[in-house]
Copies of this chain bind each other. A is one copy, B any other.
Amino acid sequence: MSAHENPDDQPGQDQITDQLLRRHMGYCMKRAYLTVETVVTGVLNAHDMRIPVYSALGIIVGNPRLSQTALTSALNIERSNTVVIVDTLENRDLIARNRVEGDRRAYALEATLKGQRLFKKIADEVAEKEGALQAGMTSKQRDALTSFLAAIEQGGTRPDAVD
């Protein structure tokens, strides 16, 4: 074991800085998201659920009888991946692939009662954990953050002014 002569307790290397990258919104956002993701994944793991599957369930619960193609575009993924996700949900009896009358190609996806209940339960747990991450923010600041994120997602539209 070697030098430790710096005043602060950093082993080996003096303070590392990422100030050059902090200039980038994407970098800051990814780091923040990583913290949120860790918390959310912890909740989902307890229900043997992963983020894409949970998201799909949420879309289906909120949009009864939508097709896999519609789900695909809502999730911004590819049809082929949607198939696997819907398989997962169907195998757990959280949703049903109902047939559409008038178009035998398509499914009308519908959450089962079990699926609706599980989604609500998880959503409440996630909301609680995410709330803790925002504990230092005021209600107005939380609304502002939501507004900023929505504006950026849309590619730079003016955010709804909150204050």
Secondary structure class of chain A's binding surface, majority of residues: helix
The reply to whether A155 and B61 contact each other, CB–CB distance below 8 Å, is no
- A100-126 with Cβ < 8 A to chain B: 102-103, 106, 119, 123, 126
The reply to whether A62 and B19 contact each other, CB–CB distance below 8 Å, is yes
The reply to whether A17 and B153 contact each other, CB–CB distance below 8 Å, is no
The reply to whether B12 and A69 contact each other, CB–CB distance below 8 Å, is yes
Report which residue of A32, A66, A123, A150 has the largest number of chain B beta carbons within 10 angstroms of its beta carbon.
Answer: A32
How many copies of this chain?
2
A158 cross-chain contacts in B, Cβ below 8 A: 136-137
Given contacts A12-B67, A163-B163, contact A31 B153 (CB under 8 A): yes
Say which residue of B12, B69, B150 sits within 8 Å of A32 (CB atoms): B150
Given contacts A17-B62, A70-B16, A137-B148, contact A123 B24 (CB under 8 A): yes
- Is A40 interfacial (CB 8 A cutoff)? yes
The reply to whether B29 and A32 contact each other, CB–CB distance below 8 Å, is yes
A163 cross-chain contacts in B, Cβ below 8 A: 163
Given contacts A16-B66, A66-B16, A70-B16, contact A21 B58 (CB under 8 A): yes
- A1-48 with Cβ < 8 A to chain B: 2-3, 12-13, 16-21, 23-37, 39-40
The reply to whether A58 and B136 contact each other, CB–CB distance below 8 Å, is no
Interchain CA distance A12-B65 in the complex, whole Å? 11
The reply to whether B137 and A20 contact each other, CB–CB distance below 8 Å, is no
A103 cross-chain contacts in B, Cβ below 8 A: 2
Interchain CA distance A55-B34 in the complex, whole Å? 15
